[in-house]
Amino acid sequence: MILTIGTGGSGLTFLNWSIIYLRGDTSYTFLNKEVDEVTDNPLLTNRTAHGQKKDHIHLTADLKKLHLATDQSVVYIVPSQQSDLEYVLQFKEKKIIFDPYVLSEELLARMCSTIPDFPLNNLIETLSLKYDQQIVKQVLIECNKFFTRYYTMPESDLDYFNINYIDVFQNLDQRIYDIFNYLELSITTDRVSNWLMIYNKYRSVNQNFLSTFLSNPVEIDNNIQMKIFKEIVAWKNGSFQTT
Beta-carbon contacts of residue 136 (< 8 Å; ≥ 6 apart): 124, 127, 128, 228
Whether the per-residue pLDDT at 62 is higher than 50: the answer is: yes
Taken in order of first residue, the domains within the chain and their CATH numbers are 1-100+150-207 (3.40.50), 103-149+208-243 (no CATH)
Mean of the per-residue pLDDT values of the chain: 93
Confidence at residue 44, expressed as pLDDT on a 0 to 100 scale: 80
Confidence at residue 243, expressed as pLDDT on a 0 to 100 scale: 42
* Beta strands, E only, 14-121: 27-29, 35-37, 55-57, 74-77, 94-98
Beta-bridge partner residues of 77: 5, 57
Handedness of CA 89, 1, 77, 165 (dihedral sign): positive
The full length of the chain comes to 243
Question: Residue 33 — left, alpha, or beta (φ > 0 → left; ψ -120 to 50 → alpha)?
Answer: left
Looking at residues 195-219, what average pLDDT do you find? 94
Looking at residues 192-218, what average pLDDT do you find? 95
Determine if the pTM surpasses 0.85.
yes
Confidence at residue 202, expressed as pLDDT on a 0 to 100 scale: 96
Rounded to whole angstroms, the Cα distance separating 64 from 163 reads 25
Confidence at residue 195, expressed as pLDDT on a 0 to 100 scale: 98
Rounded to whole angstroms, the Cα distance separating 204 from 21 reads 20
End-to-end Cα spacing for the chain: 47
DSSP conformation letters of 168-216: HHTSHHHHHHHHHHHHT----GGGHHHHHHHHHHHHHTS--HHHHHTSS
Confidence at residue 230, expressed as pLDDT on a 0 to 100 scale: 94
Looking at residues 33-37, what average pLDDT do you find? 96
Looking at residues 232-243, what average pLDDT do you find? 73
Whether the per-residue pLDDT at 240 is higher than 70: the answer is: no
Read off the pLDDT of residues 104-129 as tens digits, 9 standing for 90 and up.
Answer: 999 999 999 998 889 999 999 999 99
Please state whether beta strands 27-29 and 2-5 pair in parallel, antiparallel, or not at all (unpaired). unpaired
Confidence at residue 241, expressed as pLDDT on a 0 to 100 scale: 56
Whether the per-residue pLDDT at 143 is higher than 90: the answer is: yes
Whether the per-residue pLDDT at 157 is higher than 90: the answer is: no
Please state whether beta strands 2-5 and 74-77 pair in parallel, antiparallel, or not at all (unpaired). parallel
Rounded to whole angstroms, the Cα distance separating 109 from 214 reads 9
Whether the per-residue pLDDT at 34 is higher than 70: the answer is: yes
The band of 239, judged by pLDDT with boundaries at 50, 70 and 90, is low
The band of 236, judged by pLDDT with boundaries at 50, 70 and 90, is confident
Q: What percentage of the chain exceeds 90 in pLDDT?
A: 86
Beta-carbon contacts of residue 52 (< 8 Å; ≥ 6 apart): 13, 16, 17, 20, 38, 39, 42
Confidence at residue 21, expressed as pLDDT on a 0 to 100 scale: 98
Beta-carbon contacts of residue 123 (< 8 Å; ≥ 6 apart): 140, 232, 235, 240
